[in-house]
Amino acid sequence: MKKIIRGLLAATAVMSPMALEATVANKTVLAHRGTVSDNILLSTTACGKKNHDKDALGADISVAGFYRQSHNKVKLAQYFGGGTDVLPAGNIEVVTGTGTTTALHSTDIEMATTTTNGMYGTVALSPRRIEAGAHIQWNQCLNKFVKGLWMSVAAPVVYVRTEMRPTFTTTAKDADGQGLDTFFTGGAIARAAYSTATQSALANQKMTALYNSATGVADVKAAVGYKFVQEKDYSFGASVHGLIPTGNKQAGVLANEPTYGNRSFFFGAGLDGQFNLYRSEDKTSSFDMHACAKYSYGFGAEQVRTLGLTDLTDGADAQGQYRLVGKVGTQIAAPLANVSTLAVTVEPRSRLEAVAGFCYRFNRFTVDAAYNLFYGQAETVKAKGLLDETLYVRVKAGVANADINEGDELFDTADNEAALTDAAGLILNVATGTQHGLDLGACTTPSQVVHKVGGGVGYSFETKLPVRIGAGGEVDFSSNNHSVNSWAVWAKVGFSF
């Protein structure tokens, strides 16, 4: 209960400009709001008519086919790209030499013998997310048991496709003929310059030119409500709802993985109201308004995410998940993502969804228009376990010709579980004395505020079994780069029993 109360208070952050305007960079995960939530306007379009048959069950079932595609590729590129939160970049830059703290150096991603002979260049990103499927919804009137009581179940079956669409530009290959395209797509890395040392290929957070996809049921949402005021021109009600996670699990293998649904259980409550603003004398036309506000809390669940790297003095390292680490006592190096893709506990916490809309009805035709506000609190991410703190060290130019020394430990043996759980990071003491730690912030989705506007048209057939059809569209936007912003279209058919 305390968590829910704190979550409600945190929802006031929606009004904080600082919480809304900040951009972020160097992230490994962006949690989507979930298909059931994203379809909130779709579910209010082309609403059904009551079946007045004396044997009617009071049920309404609808199926809507939809297509949704992201349109904020520049902001998403900044989210996954390099730079800093103050100056986010829509690309990953790999440079030679030393000095810059907002880019990777060639020696960060390969065992180059000097600071200038490794692969370097720019990886321009253009992320995109596509979602298509069928939204199935069942609304059931329970007046036969208690007047004003109702229930609803919704479940979308979706196909999700994601792409990073990397473009490797102005790239220079290393002495072994390998470029950034080899490294970031997970290609084999040959180290001819070294007699015994090897470098493992990138296994996680890979970026391929091909799209990746997944298909499944993106969560099931159930609600029970009660109309405590029912008058001719207005009504008010309250409801409780829960979300059962049926989505897929991330593996961390790909950057911008295709995921559908949430991995957490949600529970919440809401208020709603309907108002008639106009009705013609012959009752052939009417103009109505509807509004609702729903709060829900997402509980902790295990996920797999890729942690980054942070300098405990100067902040997060740009693209730290791609920096090489080595296994103590060996001559084997690998990108940090290969070992920092770990099981964590993710708690989505508070979410708020509000809708205000209008519906004009003329005979059998309806026209709808609505606005939706979505607020998601920043996630809390905690580590479930520890890496062996004595196994990994930072790899620097030329070090691979000798055994990697335990004195350069990436994870100091004096650290404990609390350090990582509290997001302070496990400490790295490199030869220069600089302290680094694993960065939980890299795999944490910040607070999200999304504005959505949409509308649709519908038509009802006056048959014994009331049937309706409808079509519509929507677009959403945000002031920062914390969320996937999309446009969508849909077509809907419904039956009242």
Three-point CA angle 373, 22, 98, nearest 5°: 145
Is 110 domain-assigned?
yes
Which domain does 170 fall in, by range? 2-296+346-375+445-496
Is 469 domain-assigned?
yes
Helices within 40-194 (DSSP H only): 73-80, 106-109, 180-184
Average pLDDT, 10 consecutive residues per value, the chain (497 residues): 48 45 90 94 76 72 96 96 91 87 88 77 96 95 90 96 93 88 92 73 93 95 94 93 93 94 94 93 91 96 90 77 78 86 93 96 93 96 68 57 37 30 30 60 94 95 85 96 97 90
Q: What is the pLDDT of residue 217?
A: 96
Structure tokens, 129: 């997310």
Q: What is the pLDDT of residue 117?
A: 75
Q: What is the pLDDT of residue 53?
A: 66
Structure tokens, 184: 């970031």
Report the domain count for the chain.
1
Query: How would DSSP label each residue in 106-158?
Result: HHHHS--SSSSSS-EEEEE---EEEEEEEEEEEEEE-TTTSTTEEEEEEEEEE
Total residue count of the chain as it appears in this document: 497
Q: What is the pLDDT of residue 268?
A: 97
Q: What is the pLDDT of residue 6?
A: 52
Is 395 domain-assigned?
no
Query: How would DSSP label each residue in 460-494?
Result: EE-SSS-EEEEEEEEEEE-SSSSS--EEEEEEEEE
| CATH classification of the domain holding 178 | 2.40.160.40
* Beta bridge partner(s), residue 334: 325
Is 104 domain-assigned?
yes
Judge whether 261 and 301 are in contact, CB under 8 Å: no
Query: Strand 467-477 to strand 448-461: parallel, antiparallel, or no bridges (unpaired)?
Result: antiparallel
Is 149 domain-assigned?
yes
Is 242 domain-assigned?
yes
For the chain, counts of helices (H) and of strands (E)? 8, 28
Break the chain down into helix, strand, coil percent, rounded to 5.
15, 45, 40
Q: For the chain, how far is it from start to end, CA to CA, in angstroms? A: 39
Is 254 domain-assigned?
yes
Is 353 domain-assigned?
yes
Q: What is the pLDDT of residue 204?
A: 97
